[in-house]
């Protein structure tokens, strides 16, 4: 069986595929791999653009390790392979919610936290920052738990699958809440001038700059006492399905065939951007559908360097003859204490570049990566980049502690793959 990721830019053929349904099944797979000299990894839903999930050994699929194990007052323990979309619905049925999340809900809980999946938040961080406890199977086949105050907890929350196979994750949850979502168009120059004000005035700020134009779509989400005013079914379909996916997909396909039209296509899209408002259940506001296949690179830079990062990216695109259909997305998070979180120890801003899958443009990513690395940027572990262990060691203060822990827990590199050889050494 060949495994391919969502973007279809990574694939591999594992020696064996298993679908464990219990912790014991995972222990057996880890012991069998060790005994037969093979490697082993669990995958999520393949939404990483890097080869982080690939293995040539035993691939564990998440489909039977799903569901809630137990409920607490302010926490829930879920089996590691539970998709976020299922978790959101189960929480909602109980009047509970996660404080923050990323753009989509297709990923599994373990897959999402292992690469540091994040959304945007002034006060609330990525998914790994909402973890209260982990249960994992180590390379020697033992089952262990890790909680706050333990090195294993700070290392394994964003662990790249390098320290063990997660079997259960306990997440902190809170009473369900509504978000007031506002979308409006702002010129990039105004956006750049009001970055500090907008990030401090909003609980969740997310904006998209459309290359070859001066237009930004700015989305702000703030908690609301209600009442709920969800977008009507037609409005929702029009914005989230038809315009953001169907029409956008057609524009990308047209731009792919006739690249010289892209600046004009983007100008038409910019002119069509309108203001809108709604109040809805948090997870419905945080997340969206993504039907158009793309490739993505995303870097986290220190928050105070966002203006420079964005200006230099705009100037680079203006200078070069590239034609870029996809918007550049900008988000922020507070500092994280997970050692390999892209936000470790610093308030962070994220700048994400996307390219239409059928027309990759490596020079675009290389050019932006040069800017981001000059600004001490940290690449998202699940999105395309070319950094290796020597660079990453410089931008992650606890990198050496992570690799030392890995040396102790997995000296035989049972959980390794090519990507980990590159980024961890
Ligand atoms: C359309 C799209 C939108 C996206 N939006 C965002 C976003 O808004 N924010 C963001 O930060 N990222 C985003 N991403 C990136 C994505 O969230 C991450 O790459 C995430 O890791 C994918 O989760 P997955 O379940 O598909 O895991 P996979 O990609 O399959 O695996 C990721 C890693 O987790 C490991 N893993 C999985 N399960 C286990 C386990 N049980 N134990 C140990 N290791 C395990 C795998 O081995 C691998 O190392 C997006 C990606 C796509 C394609």
Question: 307-330: per-residue pLDDT in tens?
Answer: 999 999 999 999 998 989 899 999
Cα torsion 408, 413, 414, 418 to 10°: value is: 140
In a domain, 328, yes or no: yes
- Residue 272 has what pLDDT? 79
103 lines ligand 1 (CB under 6 A): yes
Residue 15: inside a domain, yes or no?
no
- Whether 59 and 3 have beta carbons less than 8 Å apart is answered as yes
**CA 222 to ligand 1 centroid distance, Å:** 26
Please report the DSSP string for 246-307 in residue order. IIHHHHHHHHHH-GGGHHHHHHHHHHH---EEEEEEHHHHH-----S-EEEEEEEEEGGGHH
Whether 44 lines ligand 1, by a CB cut-off of 6 Å, is yes
Q: Is 84 in the pocket of ligand 1 (CB under 6 A)?
A: no
Give the CATH number for residue 327: 3.40.462.10
How many domains in the chain? 1
Residue 73's contacts (CB-CB under 8 Å, 6 or more residues apart) are none
Establish if 225 belongs to a structural domain.
yes
Tens-digit pLDDT profile for residues 371-413: 999 999 999 999 999 999 999 999 999 999 999 999 999 999 9
* Domain-located, residue 241: yes
Residue 12 confidence (pLDDT): 96
pLDDT tens-digit map of 280-305: 999 999 998 888 889 999 999 999 99
Q: Is the CB of 46 under 6 A from ligand 1?
A: yes
Q: How far is the CA of 378 from the centre of ligand 1 (A)?
A: 17
Q: In angstroms, what is the span from residue 27 Cα to ligand 1's centroid?
A: 22
Does 216 map to a domain?
A: yes
Look at residues 182, 157, 203 and name the one whose alpha carbon lies nearest to residue 333: 203
- Among protein residues, the one with the nearest Cα to ligand 1's atom 44 is 161
260 pLDDT above the threshold of 90: no
Ligand 1 centroid to 308 CA: how many Å? 29
For ligand 1, mutation pick of 5, 25, 117 (most atoms within 8 Å of CB): 117
Residue 202 CA, ligand 1 centroid: distance in Å: 27
CA dihedral 284, 288, 291, 294 (to 10 degrees): -150
CA of 225 to the centre of ligand 1 (A): 32
Residue 329 belongs to some domain of the structure: yes
- Which DSSP state fits 178? E
For 165, the enclosing helix (H) or strand (E) is strand 165-172
- Ligand 1 near 295 CB (within 6 A): no
Regarding the beta carbon of 41 and ligand 1, being less than 6 Å apart is answered yes
Is pLDDT above 90 for 73?
Answer: no
More confident residue, 134 or 357: 134
Answer yes or no: is 165 within a domain. Answer: no
Cβ of 118 below 6 Å from ligand 1: yes
Q: What is the mean pLDDT of the chain?
A: 94
Check pLDDT > 80 for residue 243.
Answer: no
SS3 166: strand
pTM beyond 0.85: the answer is yes
Supply the range of the domain harboring residue 230: 178-379
pLDDT given at position 241? 67
Q: Is residue 131 part of a domain?
A: no
> Which of 9, 44, 351 has most ligand 1 atoms within 8 Å of its beta carbon, as the pocket-test mutant?
44
Mean pLDDT to the nearest integer, 47-64: 98
Which residues partner with 207 through β-bridges? Answer: 218, 330
- Phi, psi torsion values for 24, nearest 5 degrees: -60, -40
């Amino acid at each position: 069986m060949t495994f391919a990721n969502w973007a279809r830019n990574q694939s591999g053929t594992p020696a064996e595929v298993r679908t464990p349904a219990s912790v014991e099944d995972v222990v057996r797979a880890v012991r069998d791999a060790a005994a037969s000299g093979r490697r082993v990894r669990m995958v999520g839903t393949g939404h990483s653009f890097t080869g982080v999930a690939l293995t040539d050994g035993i691939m564990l699929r998440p489909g039977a390790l799903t569901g809630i194990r137990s409920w607490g007052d302010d926490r829930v323990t879920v089996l590691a392979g539970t998709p976020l979309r299922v978790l959101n619905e189960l929480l909602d049925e109980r009047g509970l919610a996660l404080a923050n999340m990323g753009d989509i809900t297709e990923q599994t809980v373990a897959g999402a936290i292992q690469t540091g999946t994040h959304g945007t938040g002034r006060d609330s961080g990525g998914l790994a920052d909402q973890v209260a406890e982990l249960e994992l199977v180590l390379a020697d086949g033992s089952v262990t738990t890790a909680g706050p105050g333990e090195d294993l907890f700070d290392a394994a929350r964003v662990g790249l699958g390098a320290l063990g196979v997660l079997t259960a994750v306990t997440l902190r949850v809170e009473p369900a809440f509504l978000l007031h979502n506002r979308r409006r168009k702002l010129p990039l120059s105004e956006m750049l001038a009001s970055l500090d004000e907008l990030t401090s005035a909003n609980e969740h700020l997310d904006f998209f700059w459309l290359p070859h134009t001066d237009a930004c779509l700015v989305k702000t989400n703030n908690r609301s006492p209600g009442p709920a005013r969800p977008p009507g079914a037609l409005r929702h379909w029009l914005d989230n399905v038809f315009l953001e996916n169907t029409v956008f997909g057609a524009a990308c396909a047209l731009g792919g065939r006739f690249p010289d039209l892209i600046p004009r296509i983007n100008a038409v899209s910019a002119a069509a951007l309108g203001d809108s408002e709604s109040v809805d259940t948090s997870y419905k506001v945080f997340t969206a559908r993504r039907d158009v296949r793309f490739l993505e690179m995303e870097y986290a830079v220190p928050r105070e360097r966002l203006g420079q990062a964005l200006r230099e990216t705009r100037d680079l695109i203006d200078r070069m003859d590239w034609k870029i259909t996809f918007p550049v997305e900008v988000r922020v998070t507070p500092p994280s204490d997970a050692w390999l979180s892209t936000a470790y120890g610093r308030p962070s801003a994220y700048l994400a570049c996307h390219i239409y899958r059928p027309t990759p443009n490596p020079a675009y990513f290389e050019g932006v990566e040069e800017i981001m690395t000059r600004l001490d940027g940290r690449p998202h572990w699940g999105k395309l980049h070319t950094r290796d262990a020597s660079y990453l060691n410089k931008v992650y203060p606890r990198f050496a502690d992570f690799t030392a822990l890995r040396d102790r827990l997995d000296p035989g590199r049972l959980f390794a793959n090519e990507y980990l050889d590159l980024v961890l050494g």
